[in-house]
Amino acid sequence: MKKIVWILLAAFCVAACGGKDPEPTPQDHFSVMPSTLSFTDEDASTKLVTVTASSAWTVSVSADWIRVSPTSGSGNASLSVKVDPNPEEGPRSGSISIGGADKAVVSVTQAGSGKVEIVPRPAAFDGTKRAGTTYQLLIYSFADSDGDGVGDFKGIRDKLDYLDELGVTALWLSPAHPTGSYHGYDVNDYSAVNPLFGTEADFKALIDAAHARGIQIYMDFVLNHSGRGNAWFQSVLEDPENSPYRDYYVLSSNPTADVAAGKIDNYGGAQKSNMGGWNAFSAGETGYKGRLHFVLDSHAKTVTVTESTAAVDTPPSTSDWYIYCNSFKGMKKTAEGKYELTIDFNTDWGFLVCSKTDWSAGSKWGASSTAGPIRFGTPFSLYTNANNDLVGNIVFGGFSSHYFAAFDASMPDLNYGKYTECENSPAFKATVDAATKWVNLGVDGFRLDAVLWVYNNVVSANQRFLDQWYRAVNAAYKAAGHSDDIFMVGEAWEDHKVEKQYYKGLISNFEFNYGGLVSGMLGNQNASGYVDAVNTYLTEHTTVRPDAVTSFFLTNHDQDRFAEWVGKSEAKEKQAAALLLTTPGKPFVYQGEELGYYGTKSGGDEYVRAPILWDRAGRDCAKKGVNNKVNSGMLKADISVEAQSAAEGSLLQLYRSWSRLRNTYPALASGEMTKAGLSGSSIASWYMSSGSQKLLVIHNVAGSEKQVEVADDMSTPVALLGTGAIKDKTLILGANSSVVFQL
């Protein structure tokens, strides 16, 4: 019975199931689509990869420029695939690996950017220096060879290899003569050298060693004035009426009357001075040494002086009135309007009465132009005016006279007589004779100081004087065997409209507008007027004088450092150098500019005349040459020549490479500048051409990348500052970047 039941159940099951076998157990599955992805360099869209899977999977990429999200999962999913921009010119490829137990590979390709990074390929330098670059060098703070802390001739000679590597073709030396100051602009002997710097033989050795490296030597020559310690002037002080050097200086016993009568020749016909003033002196007794008692009546404007044996006063540190005799000494108030002081007195020139411890307007009371020497016990009438003009020293005894000084009492003006006859004056002949001596020693040129003031800022008078002086010294230069003309550059520190007129007297003058043009352009990020401005300078100079040489510079020893002008931005300092060295004319580089020196004159001129830091340890650093007034925060190891020579991309390396470029290509050194006119306010562009050679110069002064369409051939880049690339006819220049192409 049981057997029949089981047979019936089995038959029922077969009938119910249609006679089929049961479903098998499901199997794992995995697939990835598509198998290839293609991107262009500009393609910012997202591409998808579809994963069909029954189990967990992970993602890996062969290159970090491929970005996939998500990078893991389980089951079916869509993957987002992006790529970074391709900076390379050509295409690149990579892959995405996806899977767990099974794997699939997706091939990824990306087109090239089409941009070609600029790699400069300059021609080899043939060893011929043609750049015309001059290095302004301060003898006293450049390099110290003997350990006394003051720069010297041997120190310069020891560093000639440094200057040669910098590519300079000339050195402008600060005044090399004996002097009463650290800076040397009060010359005490035009025919001798300062013993602090070495001997005349040392100077000759420097000249010869420089010439052997193709470097000329220019001397700084001070024609407007001598030093008070000059033997010529000391002879005048001793006997102004009979001194053989009386006519060397501008003297008068009554300046007011003599100026009004037109008797003061170095005013060039003007009726008043534009700068400076008269200084009283007495012959015979040139001052006083001993104890004196001073009584000032400020209401009556008189001072009474008597010899004294009373105890010496301690001058108050602040007072309403001061006696000035080499320093300010405060007077004690004894009654309303009355002030007294007893001091030990030692002066060779006299004294002044001052209301302030500076020379601000109206603060100086002294002697009028008609006053004689002070007499003990007799009230002396004090003279002043709003501008301190004609306020002379109060002197003791002897014969009273006055001398004119455009700058300072320590720098009496030289007198060249009537400008129409200046070449006949003894001072003219003496200074020409001194210059001739240095020409015969091997000096190649001169920088002339303060040429505006030889004839008190009278342009026509100064023009004729400079023309005559240049002709006389050039004749000596020719007689010494030279076939070319001597180089001479004037410091006509004025607006361009005035400065350009001085080419009637000299072959070259400093273009003082240039540094401001460059710093303003970099600050405003606008270069649109640069080429026109430079061409205006050049054209206006050659219009006055066909052989004119425009001397361009950023800043000099009398100005705050250029680095200060551009906010100590190394990028802007580098581009300023590139601009200077790709611009026509004669470039001047100021000592320390190539190292990024900064500083202002606010604490004293020494702070813009800092010594060169040669190595990290500070050896041979001539700090005493600037009275030890240095910014120790600036003169650190990393700004040294040693550190910057070893650092690729340093400011020093930039100066070296771009100066070598200027020496290599005649078109840069002496070519003609024509505007290229590429679009963009931040772009300065021009051609430099000489003979068959033509270069295209482009500077982007913006603080961001700029693209410029260039029709010219860009296949031969010879210099690059910053970053640059080319895509078809588009030039892509980075912030504060510059490039030069040979066409």
Catalytically active residues are: 449, 491
Tokens (6 digits) for 518: 């460059």
- Angle, alpha carbons 254-259-265 (nearest 5°): 110
Concatenating the DSSP letter of every residue in 416-478 gives ---GGGGGGSHHHHHHHHHHHHHHHHT--EEEEETGGGTTTT-HHHHHHHHHHHHHHHHHHHH
- Residue 119's φ and ψ, nearest 5 degrees, are -125, 110
Are 718 and 125 in contact by the 8 Å Cβ rule? The answer is: no
Cβ neighbour number for residue 230 with a 10 Å cutoff:
26
Cβ neighbour number for residue 270 with a 10 Å cutoff:
16
Least Cα distance to 443 among 473, 483, 464 occurs for 473
Return d(Cα 666, Cα 125) in angstroms, integer.
11
- Give every CB contact of residue 262 below 8 A, 6+ residues apart in sequence: 269, 271
What amino acid occupies position 442?
A: G
- Residue 381's φ and ψ, nearest 5 degrees, are -70, 130
Return d(Cα 678, Cα 685) in angstroms, integer.
6
Q: Which of helix, strand or coil describes residue 603? A: helix
For residue 100, with 0-12 CB atoms within 10 Å meaning exposed, 13-18 middle and 19 or more buried, which class applies? Answer: middle
H or E element: which one contains 231? helix 231-238
**How far lies 334's CA from each of 248, 316, 693, 736, in Å?**
46, 13, 82, 66
Cβ neighbour number for residue 96 with a 10 Å cutoff:
22
Are 608 and 599 in contact by the 8 Å Cβ rule? The answer is: yes
Return d(Cα 382, Cα 295) in angstroms, integer.
12
Alpha helices by DSSP H, 452-594: 459-479, 496-499, 513-524, 530-544, 562-565, 570-581
Cis peptide bond N-terminal to 70, omega within 30: yes
Straight-line distance from the first to the last Cα atom of the chain, in angstroms, rounded to the nearest whole number: 114
Cis peptide bond N-terminal to 240, omega within 30: no
Helix axes 651-664, 570-581, angle to 10 degrees: 10
Tokens (6 digits) for 194: 């300062």
Return d(Cα 685, Cα 697) in angstroms, integer.
5
Cβ neighbour number for residue 407 with a 10 Å cutoff:
17
Task: Report the DSSP beta bridge partners of residue 94.
Answer: 108
Cβ neighbour number for residue 699 with a 10 Å cutoff:
26
DSSP state of 122: P
- Angle, alpha carbons 141-146-149 (nearest 5°): 40
Return d(Cα 612, Cα 140) in angstroms, integer.
11
Are 604 and 183 in contact by the 8 Å Cβ rule? The answer is: no
Return d(Cα 214, Cα 168) in angstroms, integer.
9
H or E element: which one contains 333? strand 332-335
Is beta strand 586-590 parallel, antiparallel or unpaired with respect to 549-553? parallel
**How far lies 705's CA from each of 41, 392, 579, 718, 736, in Å?**
19, 61, 18, 20, 8
